[in-house]
Structure 1
Amino acid sequence: MKILLVEDNEELADNVVRYLDQVGVLCETANSHYQAEDKLLSYTYDCVLLDLMLPDGDGLELLKWIKSRTNSPNVLIISAKDSLDDKIKGLDQGADDYLPKPFHLSELLARLKAIYRRSKLEGSDELNLGEISIHYSTFQAFVNGKLLDLTKKEYDLLIFLITNKNRVLGKQAIAQHLWGDYTDDLANFDFVYQHMKNLRKKICEAGGKDYLKTVYGIGYKFEENPS
């Protein structure tokens, strides 16, 4: 899961990023309306954690902009503005949930998981494709009931590929999903090939089909029904 936290409180942002990193969630930050738009134009996210009180604009206006875009991410509003009007406006404009400040980080994670299950996993804790089964709550993946020995990046990559099955994904898009802002400092994306190679090998050795197809010059595709 890849998250964008739009929050100008540096201490809160640091706490959220550290906590989510510990539970395997990639979280990037933006401290203003302008910076959030810039990141959303450059990268893709599963969910945006959005504070309504930003130093350079109204968070509800940013929410409206997010939801006007094609394939917009889910949005969880986190705000000290706990009036009923703000909550209703946010939900009416497409927010998926509203969590008032202050909040427990464990509750924030639970809300994020619930949103992810509804939007990506059709309300289930499992993601299935053929003989592959991913148990989201335990961060485990199986092929024909056999547990795959995956690294954290390989596990995230497998979820990303399955939820984008039958779509051609460029190397840059894959790298950005797994490494976020750090991809800007990379000379190339050759490491994507190695992760793909390792993931394909582990699936096939466990008795799975060869779902991964290379689209030369572009990237990769995870085919739902490989020939």
Structure 2
Amino acid sequence: MKVLNIEDEMELANSIIAYLSTENYSCELAATFAQAMQKVNTYNYDCILLDISLPDGNGLKVLEELMLKDKQDGVIIISAKDSIDDRIKGLQIGADDYLVKPFHLSELAARVFSLIRRKKFGNANIIRQGELEINLPAKTVSIDSRQVILTKKEFDLLLYFIGNRNRVLSKSTLAEHLSGDLADMLDNHDFVYAHVKNLKRKLTEAGNGQYIKTVYGTGYKWEG
């Protein structure tokens, strides 16, 4: 799952990214209002951590831009204790949650998980489709009760497919999700094919590989 951290306090920003990375999130940083606007207008995120007080603008303007474009990125406002009015305004504009500084990184991670679970998976901890079962808190996958060992990228790809089931996802969309803004610097998206191939192979070897369909000339689709 992909997270954008909009935060100008670099020590805090780096701590958040380091912690969430250990929780298998792919994290990007925007340290200024300008960087934040460029990223939200170019990419999609599963969760945005939004600091309201930025050196060159108000973070609420970023939130207003997301709402104006009807984007579905989840938003958690991160603010100082004395900014209650901004927190209320942010929630009224469309933020999903807020967290007051200072906070424990474990609580932040729990809120990110809860938001993504609610928006992408109907608030369920266990996702089931036929013989396939995904335990979100444990980050495990099993088929007919037999565990399937996936890499971090493969697990992320699986969740992205299921969170967008029955939608055709282009290779460029998958590349952006897996690699963020680095995808723009790659000569090709062959790594997407490799990850999809490996995921499909592991599901097939475990007893089912029928959900991922190739849409020739376009990309891939998870059916179900």
TM-score by length of 1: 0.94
Whether 1:16 and 2:16 are equivalent positions in the alignment is: yes
Q: CA RMSD in A?
A: 1.3
- Mapped contact 1:52–1:81 kept (Cα < 8 A): no
Counterparts of 1:1-227 in structure 2, within 5 Å, are: 1-80=1-80, 82-224=82-224
Letter in 1 for 2:43: Y
Number of residue pairs the alignment of both structures matches: 224
- Mapped contact 2:79–2:87 kept (Cα < 8 A): no
For 2:90 and 2:75, the matched residues in 1 are separated by 9
For 2:134 and 2:154, the matched residues in 1 are separated by 12
- Mapped contact 1:75–1:96 kept (Cα < 8 A): yes
Q: CA deviation at 1:81?
A: 5.0
Letter in 1 for 2:7: E
Q: Which runs of 5+ in 2 are unaligned?
A: none
Q: Which runs of 5+ in 1 are unaligned?
A: none
Q: CA deviation at 1:67?
A: 1.7
Report the identity percentage. 50
For 2:143 and 2:71, the matched residues in 1 are separated by 30
Letter in 1 for 2:80: A
Letter in 1 for 2:185: D
- Mapped contact 1:144–1:208 kept (Cα < 8 A): no
Letter in 1 for 2:220: Y
For 2:133 and 2:181, the matched residues in 1 are separated by 30
TM-score by length of 2: 0.95
Q: CA deviation at 1:159?
A: 0.4
Structure 1 residues 71 and 126: CA distance shift in structure 2, 3 A:
farther
Letter in 1 for 2:48: V
Letter in 1 for 2:61: E
